[in-house]
Amino acid sequence: MAEEEVEKIIHHTKRIFINNVDSYASKCIAKFLSACVVGASLVETDEPEVEEGEERLSKDDHPKVKDGTFQIVGTIANKNERRPSYVLDEYFQLKREELLEHLMECDIIIYNITEDADQMDEASWAISALHAEMARFSQPKMFILISTVMTWALSKPVDADDPEIPFTEEDYRRRRAHPNFKEHINVEKHVVKMVPTHYFQPAHSNYGMGEQVFHFFFKTSWLGDLPKVPIFGEGTNVIPTIHINDLAGVIQNVIDHKPKPHYLVAVDDSKITIDDIVKTIADVVGPGKTKRVPKEDAFLTRDLRQMDIDALFVNLRIEAVYLKESFNIHWVCESGLIDNIDRVVEEYKQTRGLLPIRVCIMGPPAVGKSTVAERICKHYKLHHIRLKETITETLAHLESIVRMEDGETEAEDSATSSELLETLKENMDQNGGRLDDQYVIRIMRDKLKSKLCRNQGFVLDSFPKTYEQAKDLFYADDDEPEDMRSKIPPFNKKIIPEFVFSLDSSDAFLKNRVLNLPESLVEGTSYSQEQFLRRLARFRESNVEDETVLNYFEELDIHPEHIEITSSDDQEYLVVTERIIKSVGKPKNYGPTSQELEEEERRSADRRLRTEAQKRADTERRETEEAQQRAARWEEWSKCLEEVKKQEHDLLEVQAVPLRNYLMKNVMPTLTQGLIECCKTRPQDPVDFLVSPHYRFFLKKIYFSNLADSLIQSALQLVH
């Protein structure tokens, strides 16, 4: 009957424009409305249609737009993202003349100014431009402005004697805006003046489907980086909230009902403080502990924008009376965030893609399990679970509870912890420092069921070691439903590893690897020769039976992947790590934030600059050293050359002594006599005179000597 009435109401598909359709709130509203039938909220139905819609809204892909549903178009801020199927068309950085033409094609125009302050000017322009073009309307259009409750932040109480009396829609003329939201209230007033339009104001603090204002607390709790989640200020202020899907449902009702009031508010029934909200988030998602920090610390938090901080400190009680009395809303979280925290957390994980990755790495000693596990944990941001460290951590935690270091431990918890601590210490004393399997299993099971391991996941390193330990560790809880038709033994699906990798190598390879380890690393560890051989033999013996740990996983249809390690070249296990990453897939946890990426980019740039500066310095130093070496070699060579020349000169001097003696004794007297005769006689041709038969004997004596010849020529020149 309801379907027939809906068919009578539906006239045609309506086209809706939503600005920044790729932002958090606008995206969720667009998803919701794309699955809604036009006029459906005008008919009372026994079945809440929201469940089917929620299933669709939790996914990015939607079926194609059907007849009778809303068609979604809108502007986008980032053109690099893939257009979702629930959006019919997207516009990026259009000129206002072009944008106006697209607005004229739509039946409903929705402007959301809660997330981007830059959109306020465009929203004011849009309503003015549409109002100026009303003569061109083929049919009436509806303009919906989604503003923020921060325009009520400084409103005076309805009754000064009773400040807890909530505001309603009828009090909108008395509202006073927060100083940082003056422009928002101006846009509100501008829109309300335009007729026929509708103005709609939700609570600023939307939640659900990935979170917005409260995302900082969800993320902090999820990552577990802080032992206590911070509450800024006193935490006693009441924050009006509404689930984002309920907000979308209210917009659907506004479109279908066309209400007479032009100013509406949308909040759920909760009247909760920020202290209640943060404590609930921390308890369900994170460490379960909170602490109050100065209000000023919020301004030092990078994940919080100024408008988010303002929203966290608003103190306002407000009721949506008109919505309750006049609209047909299938509420998702009518009673608020705290009462529906499990649902909200599940939406948060699904929307953000935060799914735990559980890995188990098995293998003989010294095969490299811990090195690989550390690399996998670093890549996926998982928790490295090792038996010895977990036991030490558990004992230290129990001792801190017994000492009541934090001053918040209940007496009952302290007594229980004290009893368990005494039991564990007594058992260790009886077993030479080791624990019985029942206590080991209890400690490891509690660790795997901790919130951090359930949130992000873990890498289980070399445990369990036997089939019985695996069976006891992963047994199903009593409250878990059991499939009677399944032949698989019952197990705890929340802690069972999804991926099991078995590293193996030959005994000879492992022995050689241990023998080559530095003595500093072996001393005091289980890698000493005797201990290692015993451990290796024990491992081989326990893995030749029919009931092994790997057999246990096989029985559960979790098939281990075997990786053989045969080379010592890959000491960093990069090849093994890459193979495991390929099998596991992409990370399902928070990646680096934009600030972290910027910091990493800055660090990379600094490293690159330092490397380049170091290279330049090395080059300059090398060139200086080479120049100094060249100068030193040149100086040495010059000295050597001078020495050689000196040696040659000395040698020539020594060699010239016999010749000089010969000349002085034999040549010079004869030559002197010939020259004297030549001077006395003064022949016309002294040469002919000297070579005449009378002096031929003289010439025979001296002709063989080049030096003597030179002397004769010089003497003859003197004669002339």
Mean pLDDT of 496-524: 85
Tell me 167's DSSP state: B
Kindly give, in sequence order, each residue whose CB lies less than 8 Å from that of residue 222, ignoring residues fewer than 6 positions away: 285, 286, 354, 455, 456, 590
Q: Does 606 have pLDDT greater than 90?
A: no
Q: What is the pLDDT of residue 317?
A: 92
**pLDDT level of residue 567 (50, 70, 90 thresholds):** confident
Mean pLDDT of 394-407: 78
Measured in degrees and rounded to the nearest 5, phi and psi for residue 31 equal -60, -45
pTM of structure: 0.74
Q: Where in the chain is the domain with CATH 3.40.50.300?
A: 360-382+456-584
Q: What is the DSSP string of 567-616?
A: -SS-TT-HHHHHHHHHHH-S--S----HHHHHHHHHHHHHHHHHHHHHHH
Average pLDDT along the chain: 84
The candidate with the shortest Cα–Cα distance to 348, out of 495, 205, 215, is 215
Please give the CATH superfamily to which domain 360-382+456-584 belongs.
P-loop containing nucleotide triphosphate hydrolases (3.40.50.300)
CA–CA gap between residue 582 and residue 541 (Å, rounded): 32
Mean pLDDT of 575-604: 82
Q: What is the pLDDT of residue 56?
A: 40
pLDDT digits 0-9 by tens, 317-332 = 999 999 888 899 999 9
CA–CA gap between residue 41 and residue 167 (Å, rounded): 26
Residue 494: both structure tokens together:
């929340």
pLDDT digits 0-9 by tens, 82-91 = 888 899 999 9
Mean pLDDT of 500-504: 95
The Cβ of residue 339 has, within 10 Å, a number of other Cβ atoms equal to: 16
The neighbouring-strand residues paired with 384 are 459
**pLDDT level of residue 659 (50, 70, 90 thresholds):** confident
pLDDT digits 0-9 by tens, 53-74 = 344 444 444 444 456 789 999 9
CA–CA gap between residue 223 and residue 242 (Å, rounded): 25
Backbone Cα Rg of the chain: 47
Q: Does 187 have pLDDT greater than 50?
A: yes
Q: Does 344 have pLDDT greater than 50?
A: yes
pLDDT digits 0-9 by tens, 123-170 = 999 999 999 998 888 888 999 999 999 999 999 988 888 888 999 988
Mean pLDDT of 429-451: 92
Q: Where in the chain is the domain with CATH 3.40.50.720?
A: 2-208+240-269+318-332
The candidate with the shortest Cα–Cα distance to 670, out of 712, 704, 706, is 712
Max Cα distance, the chain (Å)? 165
Q: What is the pLDDT of residue 697?
A: 47
| Residues belonging to the chain | 720
- Please state which of the four CATH numbers 3.10.20.30, 3.40.50.720, 3.30.9.100, 3.40.50.11900 is assigned to the domain occupying 2-208+240-269+318-332: 3.40.50.720
Q: What is the pLDDT of residue 660?
A: 78
Q: Does 337 have pLDDT greater than 80?
A: yes
**pLDDT level of residue 394 (50, 70, 90 thresholds):** very high
Tell me 369's DSSP state: H
Q: What is the pLDDT of residue 62?
A: 44
Strands 229-232 and 290-293: parallel
Q: What is the pLDDT of residue 570?
A: 76
Tell me 15's DSSP state: E
